[in-house]
Amino acid sequence: MKVMLSGGGTGGHIYPALALADVIKQKEPDAEFMYVGSFRGVEKNIVPKTGIPFKQLHVQGFSRSLSMTNFKTVWLFLKAVSQAKKIIKDFQPDVVVGTGGYVSGAVLYAAQQLGIPTVIHEQNSVAGVTNKFLARKATKIGIAFPDAKAFFPAEKTELIGNPRAQEVANMTSDFLWKTYGLSDDKKTLLIFGGSQGAPAINLATLEAIPEFNKRNYQVVLVAGPKRIDNFMRLLKEQGKTLSDNIKVLPYIDNMPAVMQKASVLVSRAGATSIAELTALGLPSILVPSPFVTGDHQTKNAKSLVDAGAALSIKEPDLNGQSLVKAADVLLENDAQAQAMEGQSKKVGITDAGDRFYNLLKSVIK
């Protein structure tokens, strides 16, 4: 099997593609891959480390206002399509997979014009612009949330989940909280606003410190490498101190391994985070980012809340009091936490990678 992968911009588009590649390698060790990304996205830092051959295209998103930059966007897209056709002809893939981002639009559009089977994957409950553009001529469409089906032709859309979930579900962890000077016998609230941290979540945690100091459970805040200094400065200015059961860290490399040892997770509601926490059956308090296209994180969170798999706090309602209240519900009530854990596991699709692989096999001529 020869598979071309394309997804860019954010980790949420990249990690599902790489997780799929790992599943294919397990099933077909002789499979060949080519990853086509952009020059701007983080894929340029992530994909080369995997050893998968990597090509780059110049693309950019459309401006929402009338702007001359949109003429450049169209020109770059057409140029990227032409370059993508050459890459496709050289590699001759059996199927081209797009996991989102503007670069996948150019690559899959080129593949569709060349008559190559294409499969798109939508990680969120609301379809992205690129995937909606590609859906009409896509061979198959895989979705991670049932709600996303409304955006695509029903006859070629399948609920397969997010391959990242299968990857995380199969991980083993030997991580211990004593690594950070904490106890491995206490419940732990892990607060993670993304790899760069989230200012609103950091500020709510800062406000909650006096109450968290009184709790029997532990609290770990991953503030972000560029935001931890500001957090510690504000902590000092406000005359607050951290008890021995609270740790503030800049970053955690092996987040899925650490998540396996957490009791409750506070996080954004991005597709990758949700795939990971549901794969682990981890009770969560979701704080959707209001700054994403189509407000899709709010809809992602609602899917879990409606299933009884998570609590959610809208960012305007997030403060120290609301954060502590939600944490107490899950960390001081075993029955509530266990019920949510069970529902979270039900939502998670831990064979998503296998489902995705079978979807690809069904379209290869």
State yes or no: 298 annotated in a binding site: no
The verdict on whether residue 10 carries a ligand-binding annotation is: yes
Strands (E), 123-229: 140-143, 157-159, 188-192, 218-222
- 3-class state of residue 276 by DSSP: helix
Tell me: is residue 270 an annotated ligand-binding position: no
Sign, CA dihedral 109-103-303-355, equals positive
> What does the alpha-carbon distance between residue 246 and residue 257 come to, in Å, rounded to a whole number?
19
For 151, 169, 173, the CA distances from 277, given in Å and listed in that order, are 25, 9, 15
12 assigned ligand-binding residue? yes
Known binding residue 201? Answer is no
Per the annotation, does 124 bind a ligand? Answer: yes
Question: Please, which residues bridge with residue 99 across strands?
Answer: none
Question: Was 358 annotated as part of a binding site?
Answer: no
Give buried/exposed letters for 107-119 (b at 16+ CB in 10 A, else e).
Answer: bbbbbbeeebbbb
Cβ-based burial of 159 (10 A; exposed 0-12, middle 13-18, buried ≥19): middle
- Cα(93)–Cα(144) distance, integer angstroms: 24
Cα of 292 vs its chain's centroid, Å: 13
What backbone torsions phi and psi does residue 332 show, to the nearest 5 degrees? -115, 15
Signed CA dihedral, 148, 152, 157, 162: sign only = negative
User: How far apart are alpha carbons 30 and 349 in whole angstroms?
Assistant: 27
Annotated binding site for UDP-N-acetyl-alpha-D-glucosamine: 10-12, 124, 195, 252, 297
Residue positions in the annotated binding site? 10-12, 124, 195, 252, 297
